[in-house]
Chains A and B, each alone.
Chain A
Amino acid sequence: MGIRVDLRGISYTYPGSKSEAVKNVSVTLRSGMCYGVTGPNGSGKTTLLKIISLLYKPTRGHVLYDVSDPWRSDITSYRRRVVYVHEKPLMVRGSVLDNLALGLRIRGYNGDQIKERIERIVAKLDLSSLLDRSARDLSAGQRQLVAIARALVLDPDVIALDEPYSNLDFRKRKRLSRVVNELRGKGKLVVISSHDIGLLVSLCDYIIYLEDGGIVLEGPAGEVYRELLSEH
């Protein structure tokens, strides 16, 4: 049985801000599916992804993981089922390898388990040449890929990627798309934000189009695409 994430009328207001960055969003996300979130700059994509990933607590409405509200329960245990990869990811001091091991160490895995899990992901994302490099010296695209790998080694049920393609070259994009498809095939729930609607349509099952914090258009990828085309 896969996971289901239910957003029920959620809104989010940043502390100290007057307006809502996300407004009254309701949508159900299911495992084995890829969701594409798109919309203009400042429309609330990042905020929405962070709510889904349990980083922000909605100021109104509820997030449900299956039938329970993580915010009313042990939030850390729910956070261990979901990862969020920042559009401009941070690296901690140390090598790429140290960074890849960070989440596993936090979860108390031992050295052998850490090594095994990292090896698998490194092969998939072709990162072996970077392992010993200082993580803070990486280029933007390399960082992004390392951050994605750092999240995927945790084998989460829910994966939220914020503009994961923005700095990747053509080859890396193809590689990432393959990985995303594989995750979906394994029954993971993937959420990707991007400005590239064409890419989302080709990769995802369902598209959510945000404007000003609210959903203005949503539906199966093909339908949303046709609708957007006919608008212009």
Chain B
Amino acid sequence: MEPIQNIVLRSLTISGTATLLAALWSLPLAYLLASSRRFRPLVYFFEALVGIPTVLVGLLLYLLLSRNGPLGFLELLYTPQAIIIGEALLITPLITAVSYQVMLTGLSYYRELALTLGASDRQAALLVFRETLPSLISSVVMGFSRAVGELGVALIVGGNIKGYTRTMTTSIALATAMGEYEAAVKLGLVLTAIAVGVSLVVRLVRREWASE
């Protein structure tokens, strides 16, 4: 077995990168969706995809990245990058849908407030962003939690290669299959601790913010 801290660190790096990547496009996308009613149908699309099964994302990405697939030439299959892309896609609907709601409220209330005080469009957008930031951070963190705890993508496009693409969830699956229950439970506890820890941090950040 690989040292547990290596696996944990790798998992956090992969899922953290995936989350940042997803946030990079999901937040502007959410802003766009919230700013015009024309995009409403797209919102339903993303909302519908929030619960998309992780194995399905893994499978689709596998078909794209496999040697004979359209993106096979990139040679990304069974690399950490493949997991990053897959997890980023997986949590895009979640981050987009949640921050869309946040921004919709922010736009209808804070934008108007800013305008009553003589703000330009840019200043109004800035105020909306500032006031919704804690909730936007929560939505991104929710995405991270889903990414770090998912198995389908990491297993299918990562391949659970020891020392390279092995993550906490794939290790748990493997250890369980091999009857190494102690290792599996240990990793399971770490995974739970991370999820709980992250949600605690978010709570603290929000409270700090609210009472600022």
Contacts and interface: CB of A to CB of B under 8 A. Distances in A.
Binding site of B, secondary structure by majority: helix, strand, loop or mixed?
helix
A25 to B, nearest CB: 21
Contact of B116 (A15, A76, A94, A151): A151
Contacts of A83: 116-117
Contacts of B117: 83, 102-103, 106, 150-151, 154
Interface stretch (A84-92, A185-193, A197-205, A209-217): A84-92
B95 to A, nearest CB: 22
A210 to B, nearest CB: 21
A144 interface: no
B73 interface: no
B114 interface: yes
Contacts of B210: 93, 136
A26 interface: no
Nearest to B122: A76
A15 B37 contact: yes
A79 B118 contact: yes
B110 A134 contact: no
B119 interface: yes
Given A16-B37, A106-B123, A136-B210, A92 B118 contact: no
Interface in A128-158: 134, 136, 150-151, 154
A76 B124 CA distance: 11
Interface in B51-79: none
Contact of B109 (A85, A90, A136): A90
A80 B118 contact: yes
A53 B116 CA distance: 8
Task: Kindly state the interface size class of chain B when it binds its partner.
Answer: 20 to 34
Contacts of A3: none
A159 B193 CA distance: 54
A103 B118 CA distance: 7
Interface residues of A, number: 26
A113 to B, nearest CB: 15
B108 to A, nearest CB: 11
Contacts of A94: 212
B81 to A, nearest CB: 38
A86 B110 CA distance: 12
Residue of B112, B116, B131, B210 with highest tally of chain A CB at under 10 A: B116
A86 B113 contact: yes
Interface in B186-212: 209-212
Interface in B159-191: none
A232 interface: no
B120 interface: yes
A107 B211 CA distance: 26
B32 interface: no
Interface in A53-97: 53-55, 76, 79-80, 83-86, 89-90, 92-94
The 10 closest A-B pairs by CB, nearest first: A103-B117, A80-B118, A84-B116, A76-B120, A106-B119, A90-B113, A79-B118, A90-B109, A106-B123, A106-B117
Interface of A: 15-16, 53-55, 76, 79-80, 83-86, 89-90, 92-94, 102-103, 106-107, 134, 136, 150-151, 154
15 contacts: A54-B115, A76-B121, A83-B116, A83-B117, A86-B113, A89-B113, A92-B110, A92-B131, A102-B117, A103-B117, A106-B114, A106-B117, A106-B119, A134-B212, A151-B117
